[in-house]
Amino acid sequence: MAAAEESRISKGTKLSGKLHFHGIVRIEGEADGEIVGDEVVIAEGAVISAKVVANRLTIAGTVNGEVTARQRLELLSSARLHCSINTPSLILNEGAQFNGDCRMPREGNVSVSVEVDNSGRGRSVA
């Protein structure tokens, strides 16, 4: 079985606009605009100011904007987010920082919304 193809935006690279990827993309540099892909990995040190939409999304860098992960979102310990999140599955590792709104849709289009502030405290919002 062939290994999945991986695209890469290397450290030191800055892209702007609408970026669409098939397979896995690893972003180590800077990007702004819109990023759409099957599986997106935002590496530690990457700086993103964009709307990011993916099936599976792993973040270790800095993201400002809007994040939608259709299946799963994982924030690694070095992640720094100031954005809105929409995902049915959120994994928040110790040390990750998230400031924004989080919507977690459930089956039947019912959703739970969580607000998290800089202190790391969250509260459910009806």
Provide mean pLDDT across the span 63-87: 97
User: Percent of the chain beyond pLDDT 70?
Assistant: 81
pTM passes above 0.75: yes
Rounded distance, CA 2 to CA 26, Å? 19
Residues 6+ apart with CB under 8 A from 74: 57, 58, 59, 90, 91, 93
* Per-domain residue ranges of the chain: 6-100
pLDDT band at 65 (very low <50, low <70, confident <90, very high): very high
pLDDT at 5: 79
pLDDT at 6 over 80: yes
pLDDT at 108: 45
pLDDT at 4: 64
